[in-house]
Amino acid sequence: MTRGTLIACHQCDLLQRESPLGDNATARCTRCGAPLYRNRPGGLDQTLACTVAALVTFTAANAFPVVGLSVNGNLVDTTLLGAVLDLYHDGVWPIAGLVFLTTLFVPLLDMLALVYLLLPLRVGLAPYRPDLAFRVLHLVEPWCMTEVLILGLLVALVKLSVIATVVPGIGLYAFGVQMLLLAAISSGFEPRDIWARICAVNRSRLNAYPAPCTASAPTAASAGFYVCHHCGLLSVAARLHDPHCPRCGAHLHFRTPDSISRTWAFVAAAAFLYVPANVLPVMNTSSLFGAEKDTILSGVVYLWTSGSWPLAIVVFIASIAVPMLKIIALVFLLVTAQCRSRWVPRRRAGIYRLVELVGRWSMLDIYVITMLVALVQFNALATIEAGPAAIAFGAVVVLTMFAAMSFDPRLTWDTVEAHHGQATTGSSQ
């Protein structure tokens, strides 16, 4: 290896050297294919501008109604916060809390943390305690679900159009613009570059500790390095009296403690709740024509028979197939890790990344229910209430996301590394 900054892959722990990248290029791990770092020229200015604009659209999206229903000249509309409060007053506070966190609190906290980091750097200053802001960003990243909310609103519009005349509100368009701005923020924000700017402003020499990388120590753990999953810094374990990152203060460990047991617990709970989430009614509808209880599957059938088959396919994949496949995939990863299987680790790493990527889309039905419950409240004409399956389904989504976060993907590669080490030792003898 040539001299250069030593880095480690967060998903397979392989030690590698940084190399220069072209504009808008991404460096990937040579072993598992996970993204390592990106080169985004002008990323700070783009991210700051888009974040400020997103805060403005976020304010508009929550100040104006998202959607309304017009029945006999009467308009019933609601904001997103109003829909959350309706769920809370109906006694479905777990779903109300989940929607509030993933669509209001978390996106706002994410944008405020970005402004706190980037605005001082834009004027040549270092933010105070940037480690706290980075930890907030790391914590809230998986739970910001504005793009899923937009799709959920579109599904709700299709269902509401049968009941009455749908009137899209300013809030709906503002949320759409916010979704695009958040995508631009994600594409422009590169934590590695921000840390480099902070260290440059502070004239800090804090960096990775370069060390020889021999064939007997190809990974960070085997070479005695801690890898910080918050800021990416490599730290020599022997030099640290306390296993915390010297740059951002995050707790350090060679492997996530109790990863297998905690992941099994989350997966088992999710599998147990998956049955009532799909068998029990997710919505209870009362009208002049009687009462009706809808499950998730009956909602898919309704969209299909009403001619909205693209949305029916999307809802089926997001609400029925994805949670089930996530549970199966996580069980597969756990069993292969516990059995110390060496079967195609790169493909298993790809399965893990896919599980992380699609997890949030299962929230789709929760957002649909939120809008329907808030808007369809015409007393004797028609009312919709959230059913018991809504809470079970929300719990399945949260538990599978926690399971994916608890699983340490580096365990997939530990057996491969041990096998290579034994082969090397055997050949030397």
Q: What is the pLDDT of residues 348-367, one digit of tens each?
A: 999 999 998 888 888 988 99
pLDDT tens digits, residue range 381-410?
567 788 888 999 999 999 999 999 999 999
Domains of the chain with bracketed CATH: 257-429 (1.20.140)
Predicted confidence band of residue 215 (pLDDT cuts 50, 70, 90): very low
Cα first-last separation, the chain: 26
Contact criterion met (CB below 8 Å) for 171 and 60: yes
Mean pLDDT of 99-112: 95
Higher per-residue pLDDT: 414 or 206? 414
pLDDT in tens, 231-281: 888 888 777 777 888 888 888 888 888 999 999 999 999 999 999 998 888
- Rounded Cα gap, residues 51 and 47, in angstroms: 6
Residue 95 has pLDDT above 50, yes or no: yes
Residue 235: what are its φ and ψ, rounded to 5°? -130, 135
pTM above 0.75, yes or no: yes
Euclidean distance between CA atoms 147 and 153, whole angstroms: 10
Average pLDDT over residues 168-192: 91
Report which secondary-structure segment, H or E, holds 227: strand 225-227
Query: How far, CA to CA in Å, does 287 sit from each of 76, 167, 280, 386?
Result: 17, 21, 20, 15
Phi-psi category of residue 342: left, alpha or beta, with phi > 0 → left and psi -120 to 50 → alpha? alpha
